[in-house]
Amino acid sequence: MPQFKLKDGRELEILDNGINSENAIIFHHGTPGHASAWSDWLEAAASAGIRALSYSRAGYGTSDRNPGRSVISINNDIAQLLDAKNITKFVSIGWSGGGPHCIANTFEPRNVGAISLAGVGAFGVDDLDFLEGMGPENHDEFGAALKGEAVVDQWMNDNAGPMKSVTGNEIREAFGGLIGDADKAVLEGEAADQMAATMRSGLAVSFDGWIDDDLVFVKQWGFDLADVTKPVFLWQGDDDFMVPHAHSYWLEKHIPTATLSFKPGEGHISLGVKYRTEILAQAQGLLK
């Protein structure tokens, strides 16, 4: 996978669908994740004539770690990528843990909007119980993150090892209580193999990206949602035990420009599988 060198010497692995345009979609993967999570989306965008790029967030795959990063830190990396690729207008799309990062992109001058798919809300606020409704695995993981890097590092070593080598046949069991019926229904065959491959690629070098994401989500994001001025489209289902639907209602409440598409019966993974065409059309509309 191509590597992109940043000014501070770090490298990011990236995917570019090769469409020649100054307008683009930038995709932010989930937690854990990898640039390859968006491969099918990049192909679909190319078929529609839309330029699209994805990248592996710092610490995932062969992207170098950025210790101490916050959500807003992503704008430094993305701004350099935009400069190098001659992109003058972009829409950001983020899934799950990529949701806050795509919303952060609205503070980049070249951004014209964000689309967050089952994106996580903020931790430690009065009007959102971050963990309520999540599967037991998330309670354990974020409980470790709250105790600091050393503790969540040990939690990863004790619990996350199987995800480094997970296969398509194992992926549903590996997610355990974090997926419901809607997600189990779409994690079959090729889709299961692709999800497993994404996990293996993201964690092939280390757990650093996953650890840093967890630490990022239990502290302030570095910006105020009330200051968002670009359009933000939120997509969410209610059969979601990774990011419960209360998070989408909280985001809708606190982002002045938010529009929520709530899809009853959809899960964390099924949402993007079933509504990809509509979501890409939404992005294309923002770019026009």
pLDDT in tens, 109-136: 999 999 999 999 999 999 999 999 999 9
Question: Taking the chain, what is the end-to-end CA distance rounded to the nearest angstrom?
Answer: 30
pLDDT greater than 90 at residue 142:
yes
Beta bridge mates, 122? none
Nearest Cα residue to 144 out of 132, 133, 153, 157: 153
pLDDT greater than 90 at residue 162:
yes
pLDDT averaged over every residue in the chain: 97
CATH number of 3-287: 3.40.50.1820
pLDDT in tens, 47-73: 999 999 999 999 999 999 999 999 999
pLDDT in tens, 72-84: 999 999 999 999 9
Do residues 220 and 228 make contact, with C-beta atoms less than 8 angstroms apart?
no
Q: Which residue has the tokens 């307008």?
A: 23
- pTM, two decimals, is 0.97
Rg (CA), the chain: 17
pLDDT in tens, 183-235: 999 999 999 999 999 999 999 999 999 999 999 999 999 999 999 999 999 99
CA distance 208 to 218: 16
Residues 6+ away with beta carbon under 8 Å from 189: 168
Ordered by start, the domain boundaries in the chain are 3-287
pLDDT greater than 90 at residue 1:
no
H helices present in 31-70, as ranges: 39-47
Confidence class for position 255, pLDDT limits 50, 70, 90 = very high
Residues 6+ away with beta carbon under 8 Å from 71: 100, 101, 104, 216, 221, 222, 223
Confidence class for position 269, pLDDT limits 50, 70, 90 = very high
- What confidence score (pLDDT) does residue 28 get? 98
pLDDT greater than 90 at residue 245:
yes
